[in-house]
Structure 1
Amino acid sequence: PRMVVAGFGNVLRGDDGFGVEVVRRLQEEGSAPAGTVLLEVGTGGIALAQELLTPCQRLVVVDAMTRGGAPGSLYVVQVEGVEPARSIDMHMAVPARALGLAQVLGALPPEVFLVGCEPASTDDLTMELSPCVNVAVDSALAAVQTLLRRAHG
């Protein structure tokens, strides 16, 4: 089955670059199952909507998510509909718009998951992740791998 992993975020804003970093690490490891598309979406959701025009079974969105947990907390959420993605938090605005666009185009995959990390800081102009979020990248890699493998089962 074809699967898409989409990393969102602004790599110039510290922890906001979490999603992009996770996708880059997946690319470096080369460990994603065959048929997996790894997409560095960054801050523009249109690329994802375009990618989804080719049908896929499962989409995993990776992004910083502000939900009030301790910085570095990892969240894995299955999205039942596009609206909840928008209400989860402000940070998810770009992914939610991309998913909304995909829905309008009739291109939303049957299974959509969010893998999010609570940022420590997204206000500093830096390309470095904070230490706790950097640690969470490893957990996120494991979570994404699990989601991808489960789709093959």
Structure 2
Amino acid sequence: MRTLILGIGNILWADEGFGVRAVEEFHARYETGPDVTVLDGGTQGLYLVQFVEACDQLLVFDAIDYGLEPATLRIVRDAEVPRFMGAKKMSLHQTGFQEVLSAADLLGRYPSRLALIGCQPQDLEDWGGPLTAPVAAAIEPALAAAVETLVEWGVALHPRARSGETRPRLLAHDLDHDAYERRLGGADEETRP
């Protein structure tokens, strides 16, 4: 079974970046086998079709406006996923991702298992700002939910061995979490995942 672990969102709009930051942290903590792809999907929209149609199992991290308290996590699965991806659009990437799922379905390569780990955002208006403290704190339980789902799906995960302060980077530029936060003057250490 080929598995795609995908984070989507826009890190330039505060909590809208939850999905990207969650998948980035997942990559820093866990090693996976060759049948698993960990991907920062950002706001790529339809460009993600090739990745979605190539997987059998899809786990997505994203900021979703469920109308709940900020930082509330909600996990939806399978047929429910497309419904929540378009329930209340916060940005263009959500429309794009609904289209990605529809395109994969039309091509006859729709994942057999889907899971969406969505986090209710607190602030989407802070252009260039980091995740708010409550949403940053939600990354830890989101990762726990992801691990539980992936283990249930039979995906082998192994904690990465950490050597000093060096963390494996999913984003190969200055927009990775650590570099971005340093550039902003840093967030409270307690709010960092």
**TM-score normalised per structure 2:** 0.72
Deviation of 1:34 (Å): 5.4
2:5 matched residue in structure 1: 5
Deviation of 1:33 (Å): 5.6
Aligned counterparts, 1:111-126, within 5 A: 111-126=113-128
1:138 counterpart = 2:154: no
2:57 matched residue in structure 1: 58
AA of the residue aligned to 2:6: A
Residue segments in structure 1 that go unaligned for 5+ positions in a row: none
Q: Distance in 2 between matches of 1:22 and 1:78?
A: 18
Deviation of 1:41 (Å): 0.5
Structure with the greater alpha carbon radius of gyration: 2
Aligned counterparts, 1:20-99, within 5 A: 20-32=20-32, 35-54=35-54, 56-80=55-79, 84-91=83-90, 92-99=94-101
Residue segments in structure 2 that go unaligned for 5+ positions in a row: 156-193
Deviation of 1:58 (Å): 1.2
My pick for the range that moved more, 92-101 or 128-137, is 92-101
Q: Distance in 1 between matches of 2:80 and 2:68?
A: 23
- Greater share of residues in helix: 1
My pick for the range that moved more, 122-131 or 30-39, is 30-39
> Does structure 1 retain, via aligned residues, the 8 Å contact 2:53–2:111?
no
My pick for the range that moved more, 94-103 or 20-29, is 94-103
Provide closer, same or farther for how the CA distance between residues 149 and 72 of structure 1 changes in structure 2, counting only shifts above 3 A. Answer: same
Q: Distance in 1 between matches of 2:96 and 2:86?
A: 12
Supply the RMSD in Å over aligned alpha carbons.
Answer: 1.9
AA of the residue aligned to 2:126: D
Q: For 1:81-130, what per-residue CA distance to the aligned partner results, in whole angstroms no more than 9, with x for missing partners?
A: 67524542213323212111211221210111111000001111124100
Q: Distance in 1 between matches of 2:101 and 2:144?
A: 24
